[in-house]
Structure 1
């Protein structure tokens, strides 16, 4: 079966065939939840805000202008919904269980980390990033979003996104090095 692009399903939903929105939810639910979880740091709140993000997207679908990718537009809704929720509540609880580590992240060069432990180390290191750093890394490396798209999601300038991504990569490198040193010392 041929997979259609997002615009096909969006047009169907706008035309009144609302059941097609389930495709959008299924395709993006993991990333939307992961962004919400990192920003809100609470699983229940993240589930609620992820659902709220999809409801907002569904209700506003007719306003989607296709100037950016649909995923960028949806992630922006998610990010803003979660930031608004954070302003209402100040709770902190970190988890990176929902992030899927893939081979595409290899470009960050994790060669020094044994392959069998790579996912564990990366998730642990990601959990130590601040929410804005985590969101940038997630969108850029795990969701293949461009700097321009991330800029639209976060409201940061393109150059600011690049600087923050650079700093987040540096921080990940330091965190991973420390984790590896601790493991080597504990073995000795």
Structure 2
């Protein structure tokens, strides 16, 4: 696939721009899914998906092949969606980072491995309360099954930093799931 995509990129860069439809057809659903999970507004995600493909097309000559085309495209999608999310909703930190150090990994694993209907509902509510950046990490790792190295590339983080952020987000989810709702 990678060699085939490199060949298609070469064709596009040499004037056969109609070949770009291959990338739109192949990746538009995944790009849309990535964006909608970050911004949670399908109508905005559709527009941003188009923006992502335009940005990728306009910058295709800067694709250097250090990653797969898909990973490069997801990086553009991630950055576009995060920028849009930051413009639309101010992110507030509800949890003091010191709280996270007090939570055991076993407690987190136990809570997140419980697939009861009630626990899944709590998890979905907790995910919705995360910042756009945090939701993106959760979705890339757990829903899209991206590797930590791909997540690091997409987000611009180092691999150790991506692992640390994923670990902290798991603990944050645990806190959000276990806090009592105040009226």
TM-score by length of 1: 0.65
Distance 1:149 1:127, change over 3 A: same
Shift of 1:68: 1.5
Distance in 1 separating the partners of 2:21 and 2:123 = 31
1:113 aligns with 2:112: no
- Three-state SS of the structure 2 residue aligned to 1:66 is coil
Q: Deviations over 1:110-159 (max 9, x none)?
A: 54223x77865654442222211111112222223222222222122322
Q: Does the 8 Å contact 1:40/1:91 carry over to 2? A: no
Q: Which runs of 4+ in 1 moved over 6 A?
A: 116-119
Match of 1:61 in 2: 60
TM-score by length of 2: 0.67
Distance in 2 separating the partners of 1:78 and 1:174 = 29
Q: Deviations over 1:63-84 (max 9, x none)?
A: 2111112222112111222344
Match of 2:132 in 1: 131
Shift of 1:160: 1.9
Distance in 2 separating the partners of 1:169 and 1:31 = 24
Q: Deviations over 1:6-44 (max 9, x none)?
A: 441342243145454344334433332233234444333
Match of 1:77 in 2: 76
Match of 1:165 in 2: 166
Distance in 1 separating the partners of 2:128 and 2:28 = 20
Shift of 1:49: 1.2
Q: Does the 8 Å contact 2:85/2:132 carry over to 1? A: no
Shift of 1:50: 1.3
Number of residue pairs aligned between Structure 1 and Structure 2? 159
Q: Does the 8 Å contact 2:126/2:177 carry over to 1? A: yes
Of 2, 7, 14 in structure 2, the residue corresponding to residue 11 of structure 1 is: 7
Distance in 1 separating the partners of 2:39 and 2:147 = 24
5+ residue gaps in structure 1? 93-107, 183-188
5+ residue gaps in structure 2? 91-108
Task: Report 1:148-159 matches (<5 A).
Answer: 148-159=149-160
